Amino acid sequence: MTLDSVLDQTYPETDYEVLAVDNGSTDETRDVIGTYCEEYPDRVRLLVEDEIQGPAAARNKGVAEANGTILGFIDADMTVEETWLEHAVQSMKSNDWSYMGCNVEIYVEEDKDTLTATYNQIFGFPIQKYIEEQHFSGTGCLFVRSEVFDEVGNFDDRLFSGEDQEFGNRVYDAGFDQHYQPAITMYHPARSSLPALLKKHFRHGRGRAQMQRYHPSRVQKPSVLNPRNYLPPHPIRFYKNVTDVASLSWSDVILLFFIAYMKRLSATGGWAYEHFGEGE
């Protein structure tokens, strides 16, 4: 689905390449990519990164092999409109931008309309806030000029998660302007499974601990004794946040509040696991 959408573009097909990186998959991913390479031998390349697991290493592999001067990143479960690449390149070139994040719309897949999916839709990918307040974009919706990598280096492949924030912060510190382009929308399926959502935030917690270890100046060190790491979200603020964007029953709001609390505990657990346990 992702490869279909990035190949079906209004941008001239001879002017861009598609690099699909397999990062140690255990399913049929590599075979699926191979069929696209056979069908589009001049447009699609299969790259393999087996030595280091994680999104940073996979993206670095693509950066190293890319021939273009503008690099666009997309996650394996996302889709884009046919004008995605044309408008992205136009935005980068006409504005002389070096770093651009796009809008991400989360949609619920058929037969997966759960409260976890609703939670993911409400709180999913606030890219504009990330760029304006935290100086980074998620890499699944990012465009960067190759010269940026030449100056600041690649993604830190030691990080289990958070490599997008650490890289974006380096870009910002180096003096490059960062921009959000709301006119370009990319589509991401909602996580409908609560275990999958909690696993994601456990990974984020691990990434935060790794960020403290390798980049202590970029993240405030939490205390394991700080009760805020174990308390639920502020109930009034949470209620306002969810009801401002969705029409929900009281029972749904309460269940979403419970999901938010479990997410916080999962992230704290991931941090503790990495900081004190197996991650060391």
Residue 11 sits in the same domain as residue 146: yes
Q: Measure the CA dihedral 83/171/57/196, to 10°.
A: -70
Residue 24, pLDDT score: 82
Compute CA distances 223 → 69, 263, 272, whole Å: 43, 18, 10
**Structural domain of 14:** 2-189
Residue 158 sits in the same domain as residue 269: no
Last residue in a domain, options 189, 206, 225: 189
Residue 140 sits in the same domain as residue 270: no
Q: Measure the CA dihedral 207/212/218/222, to 10°.
A: 100
The alpha carbon of 68 is separated from its chain's Cα centroid by a whole number of angstroms, namely: 22
Contact 143, 102 (CB under 8 A): yes
Residue 53 sits in the same domain as residue 176: yes
Residue partners of 230: CB distance under 8 A and separation at least 6 = 264, 265, 268
Residue 166 sits in the same domain as residue 251: no
Residue 31, pLDDT score: 93
Last residue in a domain, options 144, 172, 189: 189
Last residue in a domain, options 189, 210, 235: 189
Residue 202 sits in the same domain as residue 149: no
Residue 229, pLDDT score: 78
Residue 84 sits in the same domain as residue 157: yes
Residue 189, pLDDT score: 96
Residue 144 sits in the same domain as residue 266: no
In which residue ranges of the chain is pLDDT below 50? none
pTM for the model stands at: 0.92
Residue 231 sits in the same domain as residue 97: no
Residue 69 sits in the same domain as residue 202: no
Compute CA distances 37 → 70, 158, 270, whole Å: 22, 30, 38
Give the total number of structural domains in the chain: 2
Determine the Cα–Cα distance for residues 21 and 49; give it in Å rounded to an integer.
7
User: Residue 100's beta-bridge partner residues?
Assistant: 143, 179
Q: What is the CATH number of the domain that holds 94?
A: 3.90.550.10
